Amino acid sequence: MAQAARPHHGLLSFLDTDGKPHPVQNAFAVTTLVIGAIAFVTAHFTQLHLVSSWTGLVGMITGAWGQLISATTGERFVLIIGLGAAAVGFYLGMAHGGLFGGVLG
C-alpha cells in the first residue's frame, strides 16, 4: 500500500484517479476537450460553419472512441464535456451551412 500514499504529480494526474497512468486515454480526453472548445466557439460565427462542423464531427468521433477506451471517471467527465461542446458546434455548423456549404456547388 506504499503506492497509495505516494502523491501523483503531473499535468494530467487528476484524470488518473486509480493511481495508474493512462497516457492514451488522457490524450483522447484532452484532444476531445480542445477540439470541442474550438467547435463550440467557432459555431457562434456563421461564416465559420466549415470549421465548426468539421471540428465538431472530429470531436464527436474522438470523444466516442475515448469513451470506449476510458479507464477512470475523471477521463469520462472530461470526455463528456468535450463531446457536448463538439456536438453543439457540429449541429450549429450544420445549421449555418454544413460540411460542404458553398464549396461544392
Q: Is residue 41 included in any domain, yes or no?
A: yes
Kindly state whether residue 7 falls inside one of the protein's structural domains. no
Alpha carbon distance 95, 79 (integer Å): 24
How many structural domains comprise the chain? Answer: 1
Is 47 a domain residue?
yes
Domain containing 89 equals: 21-94
Confidence at residue 94, expressed as pLDDT on a 0 to 100 scale: 93
pLDDT tens figures, 40-64: 999 999 999 999 999 999 999 999 9
All residues at 6 or more sequence positions from 9 whose CB lies less than 8 Å from its CB, including other chains: none
pTM: 0.85
Residues 59, 82: Cα–Cα separation, whole Å: 7
Query: Would residue 29 count as lying in a domain?
Result: yes
Q: How far apart are CA 39 and CA 51, in angstroms?
A: 7
| Mean pLDDT, the chain, integer | 88
Domain contains 6 = no
Q: How confident is the model at residue 88 (pLDDT cuts 50, 70, 90)?
A: very high
